[in-house]
Amino acid sequence: MTHTPGQEFGNLQQYDDLCARLYTDPDLEPGTRELALAMAWAQLRDPTRHTTNDSLMRRVGFLLGRDRMGRWRHSQLFADDAPRYEPPRAVHSGSCVGPRVRPYRARGAPPPPAPTGPLVCGDRAQISVRERSPVTGQIVKVHWYCRRHAKHADTVREHLARAGEPPPPLPNKGGRLPRYFTPKGLAKIYASVRPGWEPPIYGLCADDWPSDGLPVLVPKRPRLSLVVMEASDD
């Protein structure tokens, strides 16, 4: 395909504008910014883009190279930007909050001070009941119980069920690249680099996600349409 000087000048202006926006975006992680800059270069300024048979994503992969483990860096950076909800670390382990007759005392520990409030079990918990926000769907509290207090866990679970099913969780990770590149092609890449990923109902772009369940009004930014959207090779 022949590109006229006018088209090349237009690409140069578009590239300069996009780079300025990428460098001044405070929400971009360094790796996401590096990936976006490589995508912009491969699409608009790469001297070989008119003659090579390599896909855009393959050229981006060559630009960013591999990490110390030999993995393509751009694949991991795309995976990091996939829009998703990640629960807080506290949901993975906890101590039982069931009632206790006597204060918990670890083996060999000195006697605990006299209690000033309700006693809790404090033993290692194996059962968790996650409480989610009825507005955002995100986890707001985790109730932990040991096996001795399994009935208490059932009671809390039934109480939460009566409140109704919360919405799908609002994403809290990723969604920055769709500010600058067309989301349709990015969705294919996200799915290829993060197995099991599905697009959130709130959209791919973080600018479109509600804040605490309320709509947000963010000015739409011009997006670069990606011509070739293969995820990667090798």
Q: Within a domain: residue 167?
A: no
- For residues 51-79, average pLDDT: 93
* Measured distance CA(81)–CA(205) in Å, rounded: 10
Q: Within a domain: residue 219?
A: no
**DSSP states of 74-131:** HHHHHHHHS-B----GGGG--B--SB-SS----TTPPPPPPPSS--B--SBP-EEEEE
* Structural domains counted in the chain: 2
Q: Within a domain: residue 223?
A: no
Residue 57 one-letter amino acid: M
Q: Helix, strand or coil for residue 66?
A: strand
Q: Within a domain: residue 213?
A: no
User: What's the whole-model pTM score?
Assistant: 0.79
Model pLDDT for residues 82-122, shown as the tens digit of each residue: 999 999 887 888 999 999 866 556 677 777 666 666 788 88
* Residues spanned by the domain of 193: 5-85+172-208
Higher local confidence (pLDDT), 30 or 100: 30
* Measured distance CA(210)–CA(227) in Å, rounded: 30
Q: Mean pLDDT of all residues in the chain?
A: 86
* Measured distance CA(206)–CA(172) in Å, rounded: 8
Q: Looking at the chain, list the stretches that DSSP marks H as alpha helix, in order from N- to C-terminal side.
A: 5-24, 30-44, 56-64, 73-81, 150-162, 183-193
Q: Within a domain: residue 110?
A: no
Same domain, 183 and 147: no
Give the pLDDT of residue 228.
40
